[in-house]
């Protein structure tokens, strides 16, 4: 198979370009260097977050165990406070055990922030009369209010309102829809 001179020249140029593209940039990289001013892990194994051009930052390896635990607990409390809807079983205003830790986190937040206000909106599913469901929504909101107060919140920070069956989260007449409508929502203001 004979190749023309131009085909050979093109192949040579393509090969040279490929080799040049794969070569190093000429920067001298020390062993262990990242080529960036931000390292994912510092030498002691802790994460480091750099805040400016001067290389200053906060390193997890510089935190004491107590500071690390406090930071972790604060992060966990903030994550719990993302949950603002609490569900109830049929025809009851008893707070479920799995909601208690989350409500304690909300109570601590309210205790630590006395100017923060929250509205507790009680809801019920469509079963029962309008009057009964308004009363049930109110009992649910009051149960959450009492729980928050017992755990550190101030009564003056909390407003309760009942919507009964008037503002369903989910429309429908199935057990799944009813379960999602039996709730108290925390609305921070």
125, part of any domain: yes
Whether the pLDDT of residue 3 is over 90: the answer is no
Residues 143-156: pLDDT tens digits?
A: 999 999 999 999 99
152, part of any domain: yes
Distance of CA 62 to the CA centre of its chain: 26
Q: At what angle do helices 65-80 and 100-112 cross, to 10 degrees?
A: 110
13, part of any domain: no
4, part of any domain: no
Residue with the bigger pLDDT between 166 and 48: it is 166
123, part of any domain: yes
User: pLDDT averaged over the chain?
Assistant: 81
Whether the pLDDT of residue 11 is over 70: the answer is no
State the residue range of the domain holding 161.
82-188
52, part of any domain: no
CATH of the domain at 136: 3.30.1330.60
Sheet containing strand 183-188, edge to edge, reads 85-87, 183-188, 118-123, 158-164
89, part of any domain: yes
Looking at the structure of the chain, the number of domains it has is 1
Residues 89-141: pLDDT tens digits?
A: 999 999 999 999 999 999 999 999 999 999 999 999 999 999 999 999 999 99
DSSP bridge pairs for 122:
162, 184
Residue with the bigger pLDDT between 64 and 35: it is 64
According to the model, what pLDDT value does residue 79 have? 80
Confidence (pTM): 0.64
Residues 63-97: pLDDT tens digits?
A: 788 888 888 888 877 888 889 999 999 999 999 99
129, part of any domain: yes
Structure tokens at 45: 């194994």
- Asked if 50 and 38 touch (Cβ cutoff 8 Å), the reply is yes
């Amino acid at each position: 198979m004979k190749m023309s001179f131009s085909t050979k020249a093109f192949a040579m140029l393509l090969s040279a370009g490929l080799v040049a593209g794969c070569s190093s940039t000429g920067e001298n990289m020390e062993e262990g260097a990242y080529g960036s001013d931000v390292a994912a892990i510092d030498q002691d194994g802790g994460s480091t977050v750099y805040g400016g051009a001067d290389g200053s930052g906060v390193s997890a390896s510089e935190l004491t165990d107590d500071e690390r635990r406090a930071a972790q607990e604060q992060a966990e409390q903030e994550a719990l406070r993302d949950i603002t809807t609490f569900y109830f079983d049929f025809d009851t205003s008893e707070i479920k055990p799995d909601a208690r830790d989350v409500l304690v986190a909300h109570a601590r937040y309210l205790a630590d922030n006395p100017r923060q206000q929250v509205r507790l909106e009680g809801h019920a599913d469509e079963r029962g009369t309008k009057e009964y469901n308004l009363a049930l929504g109110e009992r649910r909101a009051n149960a959450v209010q009492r729980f928050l107060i017992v755990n550190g919140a101030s009564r003056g920070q909390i407003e309760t309102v009942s919507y009964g069956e008037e503002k369903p989260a989910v429309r429908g007449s199935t057990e799944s829809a009813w379960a999602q409508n039996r709730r108290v929502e925390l609305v921070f203001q």
